[in-house]
Amino acid sequence: MFEALWDDRVRTAMKQFSAGAFLTSAHDGVVNTMTISWGTLGILWGKPIWQVVVRPQRYTMPLIDGSGEFTISIPEKDMAQALAWCGSRSGRDGDKLADCGLVAQPGRVTKTPVIAGGGVHFECRVVHRQQFDATVMSPTLNQTIYPGNDHHIQFFGEIVAWYGD
Ligand SMILES: Cc1cc2nc3c(=O)[nH]c(=O)nc-3n(C[C@H](O)[C@H](O)[C@H](O)COP(=O)(O)O)c2cc1C
């Protein structure tokens, strides 16, 4: 399964990941998406895994904890405006999908939708989570990235489906 993951479309999408992707979560009737640009795609425990990092104050965090799922949609076309909006507003304060005219397309395997619109999608089930530990982190990294002591939660999601629009 892991070899099959590295097709040309996924390779191209990964080049675009650092420009921003949608991390979508859904729980208890709420659907939310936030922008991410940090994360890793690789293999752990013999499984294809996306590891994403979410600060504890994000509205996204309890939604992923509640459902045990997330999806990632990496746009292939220019969605810079929507990525900027979803990366600077919280779903706590309103429906960002509606604000941006984003369409939540039902997931194929999970209950969490993907963001429609010319991209590559990954559906993930959380198999592990943990918070970065300041006591074993490089002091420079700790001071630079976490002056507010809000260390990211790492969510490790097993990829149970991936496809393009
Ligand atoms: C390009 C970009 C990348 C971002 N990457 C992350 C990330 O990897 N992890 C994170 O916690 N926040 C990241 N953010 C910030 C969140 O997207 C932002 O705080 C968002 O408003 C959280 O939404 P929520 O409260 O609805 O979950 C990023 C923002 C931008 C613009």
Cα of 35 from ligand 1 centre, angstroms: 5
In testing the pocket of ligand 1, which one of 58, 64, 97, 153 has its CB within 8 Å of the most ligand atoms? 58
Torsion on CA atoms 131, 132, 134, 136, rounded to nearest 10: 120
- Which class is domain 2-164? mainly beta
Q: What is the pLDDT of residue 2?
A: 67
Of the candidates 116, 112, 117, the one whose C-alpha atom is nearest the C-alpha of residue 155 is: 112
Question: pLDDT, tens digit, for every residue of 128-153?
Answer: 999 999 999 999 999 999 999 999 99
At residue 66, φ and ψ (nearest 5 deg) are: -70, -40
C-alpha 139/C-alpha 55 separation (Å) is 18
Q: Could you give the angle at the alpha carbon of 44 between the alpha carbons of 145 and 114, nearest 5°?
A: 70
Q: What is the pLDDT of residue 5?
A: 79
Which residue stretches of the chain are H helix? 2-5, 8-17, 60-67, 80-86, 96-100, 139-145
Location of structure tokens 């990941």 = 17
Of the candidates 78, 2, 52, 62, the one whose C-alpha atom is nearest the C-alpha of residue 27 is: 62
In testing the pocket of ligand 1, which one of 17, 34, 88, 150 has its CB within 8 Å of the most ligand atoms? 34
Question: Tens-digit pLDDT profile for the chain (165 aa)?
Answer: 667 777 888 888 888 999 999 999 999 999 999 999 999 999 999 999 999 999 999 999 999 999 999 999 999 888 999 999 999 999 999 999 999 999 999 999 999 999 998 799 999 999 999 999 999 999 999 999 999 999 999 999 999 999 998
CB 72 within 8 A of CB 162: no
Q: Where are the domains positioned within the chain? A: 2-164
